């Protein structure tokens, strides 16, 4: 009896669900896996043909069969053959099961139980549709989050780059962190565009290399973002623990950690995938040992940041309780404590909850990591830049400079009367000093503090 094909409805199910957040494989990946399994099966079955030396043939029974989903070896009459779930169904559900066929006088019987049911795919289950709707809403939410974060991060990065008085070690670290968040958002958009833009299977082979490069770039951006979150925690901890250290050398080490270490791990992961698990677009991680090449360092950075967070809070509480921290120093530590409490949780403390989460908590984990995590860049940009006192002061100063320049370039008759009268009352030298100070060329007297004094305060 010829088996009834179940491949078409299953592939249609995959095609309909291919545009989700990435929890399901692409149709191109499914077809590639099926081709590889078919070729391997036909190669094995060719060795069972009569006449091949060293191959024992059954006197009567069923010949080997590829039924478009599974490979069934030759069997003697009356035997029951067991095979595992097809690989593409394991990619879909993450579960393994068994399918059976009997070898009868009329040939192979129908597979039992049905492969989709045995492997955890229930086409008639209404929960699949609800889960699909949930993932679509989640995709919209994290798209809005990454878009808003991208815009705010670009503005914040431009502000920190534009004002030279804000250039210092901690702001350089902030700028690197902004860039890592920007790359993370861009890589998510690129990944979605490449993986889920089209179901046209005619170009599957043409885009395989580019698709894998996109996934490698995506994994690098994710790891770099976690690395720079770790750098922020390390820098804060270093400021509190070590009184004097070379910030220049420290920054060089942080740059190597933030951008260099992810490149090493992602390159190792890509090489391992190429030689050991070159399946699909590398967006499905069936081999856990290979996936831990990336997952392991990320979890380690989360754990280290959590430990640093606890230790920083302990140090701050101890210093704030001592009687030695009075006056301005006490205010400094209070600002530091406030900013630490606001910022360190964003460094991955919430990730520690799902670092070792079970598979049944995947939807909750997706919500926190994608929906809420997509707004993380927005919150960091607001805390580091837009709510920062020194940044606000520099922006206000630039705004006043622009107004003074515009005022001085106007004809006398077009100037506002109240400003002209005030400047006339102030008279010569006062006007020149006021204008020069606003424009940025403040005269330095013998008792004047050097320009830039105090720029190291306020960002924490």
| Domain positions in the chain | 7-118, 146-387, 393-460
- pLDDT of 349: 67
- pLDDT of 112: 86
CATH topology of domain 146-387: Rhopdopsin 7-helix transmembrane proteins (1.20.1070)
Provide mean pLDDT across the span 138-152: 92
- pLDDT of 2: 44
pTM: predicted TM-score of the whole model, two decimal places: 0.71
Provide mean pLDDT across the span 256-280: 92
Tokens at 103, concatenated? 């070898």
Is the domain spanning 7-118 CATH 4.10.1240.10? The answer is yes
- CA proximity to 15, closest of 142, 137, 143, 123: 123
- Strand, coil or helix: what is 455? coil
In 242-287, alpha helices (H): 247-255, 261-276
| Residue 26 binned pLDDT confidence (cut-offs 50, 70, 90) | low
- pLDDT of 248: 80
pLDDT in tens, 78-136: 889 999 888 877 776 667 788 899 998 888 888 888 887 788 776 666 566 777 788 78
Mean pLDDT, rounded, of the chain = 75
DSSP symbol at 351: G
Tokens at 325, concatenated? 């921290």
| Long-range Cβ contacts of 337-341 (<8 Å, 24+ apart) | 339/383, 339/459, 339/460, 340/236, 340/312, 340/313, 340/316, 340/460, 341/313
């Amino acid at each position: 009896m010829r088996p009834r094909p179940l491949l078409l409805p299953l592939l249609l199910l995959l095609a309909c669900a291919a545009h989700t957040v990435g929890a399901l494989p692409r149709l191109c990946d499914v077809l590639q896996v099926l081709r590889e399994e078919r070729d391997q099966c036909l190669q094995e079955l060719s060795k069972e043909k009569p006449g091949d030396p060293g191959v024992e043939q059954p006197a009567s029974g069923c010949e080997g069969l590829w039924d478009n989903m599974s490979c069934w070896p030759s069997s003697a009459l009356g035997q029951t053959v067991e095979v595992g779930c097809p690989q593409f169904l394991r990619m879909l559900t993450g579960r393994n099961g068994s399918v059976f066929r009997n070898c009868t006088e009329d040939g192979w019987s129908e597979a039992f139980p049905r492969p989709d049911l045995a492997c955890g795919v229930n086409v008639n289950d209404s929960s699949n549709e609800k889960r699909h709707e949930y993932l679509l809403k989640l995709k919209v939410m994290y798209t809005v989050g990454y878009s808003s974060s991208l815009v705010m991060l670009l503005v914040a990065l431009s502000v920190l780059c534009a004002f030279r008085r804000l250039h210092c070690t901690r702001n350089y670290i902030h700028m690197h962190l902004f860039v890592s968040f920007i790359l993370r958002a861009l890589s998510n958009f690129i990944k979605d565009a490449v993986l889920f833009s089209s179901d046209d299977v005619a170009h599957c082979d043409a885009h395989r290399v580019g698709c894998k490069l996109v996934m490698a770039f995506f994994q690098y951006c994710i790891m770099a973002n976690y690395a720079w979150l770790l750098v922020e925690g390390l820098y804060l901890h270093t400021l509190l623990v070590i009184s004097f250290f070379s910030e220049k050398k420290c920054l060089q080490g942080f740059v190597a950690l933030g951008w260099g270490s992810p490149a090493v791990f992602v390159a190792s992961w890509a090489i391992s995938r190429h030689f050991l698990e070159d399946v699909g677009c590398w967006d499905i991680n069936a081999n856990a040992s290979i996936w831990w090449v990336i997952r392991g360092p990320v979890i380690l950075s989360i754990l280290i940041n959590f430990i640093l967070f606890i230790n920083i809070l302990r140090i701050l509480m101890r210093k704030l309780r001592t009687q030695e921290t009075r006056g301005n120093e006490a205010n400094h530590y209070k600002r530091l404590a406030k900013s630490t409490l606001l910022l360190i949780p964003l460094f991955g403390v919430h990730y520690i909850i799902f670092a070792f989460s079970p598979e049944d908590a995947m939807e909750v984990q997706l919500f926190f990591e994608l929906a809420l995590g997509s707004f993380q860049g927005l919150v960091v940009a607001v805390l580091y830049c837009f709510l920062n006192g020194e940044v606000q002061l520099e922006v206000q100063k630039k705004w006043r400079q622009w107004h003074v320049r515009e005022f001085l370039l106007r004809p006398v008759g077009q100037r506002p009367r109240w400003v002209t009268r005030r400047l006339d009352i102030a008279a010569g030298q006062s006007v020149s000093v006021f204008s020069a100070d606003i424009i940025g060329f403040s005269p330095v007297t013998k008792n004047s503090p050097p320009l830039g004094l105090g720029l190291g305060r306020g960002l924490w």
